[in-house]
């Protein structure tokens, strides 16, 4: 890709969602394309697709923009493994694909943003990712949970993110301030 080469229109939409073009976003873009190709799926109107993202980097935004797997809908799950690994589960078929960025994918590429982006856009999928169909248990559907008022700050907090002490309900920040829970929970 040269400076005068236009981006694919679907990548332009991803860039518009994310705010800028960067190597991490292109990794996510290419990973999402690989997952879509393996599962033969498209954008999720509801919770039909679930993404298990093993990182919280720019790459995840590509899946959100392209496949509508979002935290708000409950079909984006963050697993803090610090890996550029994405498992996409299709509820309709019960199938899942794991797309893992290869450790050696950037070997020999200059530490230059434009060179890295060009390589990520041009390299064959198997040069960038390990793509494998996997068997996983269907992730639970998103749930609407009750909200409780914190006895200290008076703000509402999801019931699963509260602490009960002496018949009082506290949100996690207030529970931490009061020494009821540690930062590690």
Q: What are the pLDDT digits (tens) for 119-138?
A: 999 999 999 999 999 999 98
pLDDT for 2: 47
Per-domain residue ranges of the chain:
9-134, 147-177
What is the SS3 string spanning the chain? CCCCCCCCHHHHHHHHHHCCCCHHHHHHHHHHHHHHHHHCCCCCCCCCEEEEECCCCCHHHHHHHHHCCCCCCCCEEECCCCCCEEEEEECCCCEEEEEEECCCCCCCCCCCHHHHHHHHHHCCHHHHEEEEEECCCCCCCCCCCCEEECCCCCCEEEHHHEEEECCEEEEHHHHHHCCCCCCCC
Structure confidence at residue 36 as a pLDDT band (50, 70, 90):
very high
pLDDT for 97: 98
CATH 3.30.1330.130 describes domain 9-134: yes
Q: What are the pLDDT digits (tens) for 47-93?
A: 899 999 999 999 999 999 999 999 988 899 999 999 999 999 999 99
């Amino acid at each position: 890709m040269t400076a005068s080469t236009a981006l694919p229109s679907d990548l332009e939409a991803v860039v518009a969602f994310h705010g800028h073009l960067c190597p991490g976003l292109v990794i996510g873009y290419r990973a999402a394309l690989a997952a879509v190709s393996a599962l033969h799926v498209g954008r999720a109107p509801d919770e039909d697709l679930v993404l298990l993202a093993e990182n919280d980097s720019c790459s995840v935004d590509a899946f959100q923009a392209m496949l509508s797997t979002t935290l708000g809908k409950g079909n984006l799950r963050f697993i803090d493994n610090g890996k550029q690994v994405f498992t996409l589960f299709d509820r309709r078929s019960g199938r899942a694909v794991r797309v893992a960025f290869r450790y050696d994918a950037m070997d020999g590429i200059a530490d230059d943003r434009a060179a890295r982006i060009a390589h990520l856009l041009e390299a064959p999928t198997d040069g960038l990712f390990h793509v494998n169909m996997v068997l996983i248990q269907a992730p639970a559907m998103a749930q609407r949970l009750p909200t409780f008022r914190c006895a200290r700050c008076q703000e509402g907090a999801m019931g699963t993110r509260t602490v009960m002490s002496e018949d009082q309900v506290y949100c996690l920040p207030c529970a931490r301030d009061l020494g009821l829970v540690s930062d590690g929970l």
